[in-house]
Structures are given as C-alpha cells and as structure tokens.
Amino acid sequence: MTRSERAAALVERLPQVYPEAHCELHFSNPLELLVATILSAQCTDVQVNKITPALFAAFPSAADYAASNPVELESYVQSTGFFRNKAKNIRLAAQDIVEKFGGEVPRTLGELITLAGVGRKTANVVLGNAFGLEEGIVVDTHVTRLSLRLHLTRMKTAEKIEVDLARLIPRGKWTLFPHWLIWHGRRRCTARRPQCSVCELADLCPSAGKILGAT
C-alpha cells in the first residue's frame, strides 16, 4: 500500500471509528479558543477546561485581558503550568488584538502568528475550529507520533510533517484529520502502550506488527 493509498483509507476509516471527534477544548467564541489553546501548551485539555469557565467569565473580551492585572490573571491560569509566561502572552496577544485588529481575533494564519504565544499549531486550531477555515493542519504530539507510526511521513518537525500531511489529506478534511488522530492517540495508540491487538487501524498501520512483536 502506498502512502497515498494509506492516507485515503485512513480518511475513510477514521470517521467510522470516531464519528464524534472534535476539539476537546471548551470554547464559545474565537477568543476563548485562542486563550484555551495558549494555555494547553504542556498541559492537558482536561486541566485547561477546569479553569477556563472562571477565566472566561472574568475576562470576556480582548480588552479585558489587555487591561488585566498580571498577578490577577496569573492566579486564574496558575494550574496550567508555565503560568507567568502564558499570562504574559495572553495579555500581549490581547493588546495586539485590541490595537491592531479592532478587538476581534484575526482570521488569517499570517495575522494570527504575529500574536504573542501563537505559532502555526495554535493558529491552525483557531482557524479550523473557530472559523471553519482550513489554511493548515494541526500537528501536536499525538499527530506527530501517529503520523510516524502510520508511515504518513518520515519528518520529525511539526512544520515538515504538516507539509507531508497537506499533500496526502484532502483540504476539506484538514481540520478533522488531526482530531481523528488525537482521539485515536488518546484512546488507543498511546505513546507507551499502544493497543495494537484491538486497534481498528491495525491493518492499515505498518508499525502494528513491529509493536505487537515487541510486546
């Protein structure tokens, strides 16, 4: 099976396995998703979701974050780790959103990545899930691990993996594909103990036999 054939088979199989796959960060508007994604770095979505209801209630707009007291903002996000840097980035990003983008989260990749704490991954999360715009593919640790195990890429950096995936996955699936891989990575193909013997993708995965043989 060629890489293209495997990718096409995965695009057909994965929605059958995970028909409800979606972004697991809770949000109700683009600003909330942007903030939640910044907080999710080196932190679980579950933990981020625990603290964002109070955070979003206290700071409903970009102007509120921009004008926030740093110590107060830090107190809301402390449990997500690296909280001082995250709070600083949120304040700086909010200031630019207010001053440069009229208080609204920008809708292009080029504009989003000018914001503090926002790289391609965060920008792609916001564009795809808040705006329904598919300018790129989210590549996180789960997508990286599974893309390598499924032999969709040989690259090791997120930017190069994204390029390979964009060549293989139809553009209309660029938002959903990483969600499918993330759900699979969390529920079946974990980093340390992948459940290859009961995996729904085992027949499509070149690594399944090797991992099974090693266990």
Catalytic residue among 64, 88, 140, 160: 140
Catalytic residue among 45, 50, 121, 173: 121
Angle at 19 between CA 142 and CA 134, to 5 degrees: 60
Residue among 43, 45, 61 nearest 104 (CA): 61
User: b/e for 155-173, b at 16 or more Cβ within 10 A?
Assistant: beebeebbebbbebbeeeb
What DSSP assignment string belongs to 118-132?
A: --HHHHHHHHHHHS-
Instruction: Provide the 8-state DSSP code for 97.
Output: H
Is residue 121 flagged as an active site residue?
yes
Outline where the chain has alpha helix (H): 3-17, 30-39, 45-58, 62-66, 70-77, 83-100, 109-112, 120-130, 141-149, 158-168, 176-187, 208-214
Is residue 64 flagged as an active site residue?
no
Catalytic machinery residues = 121, 140
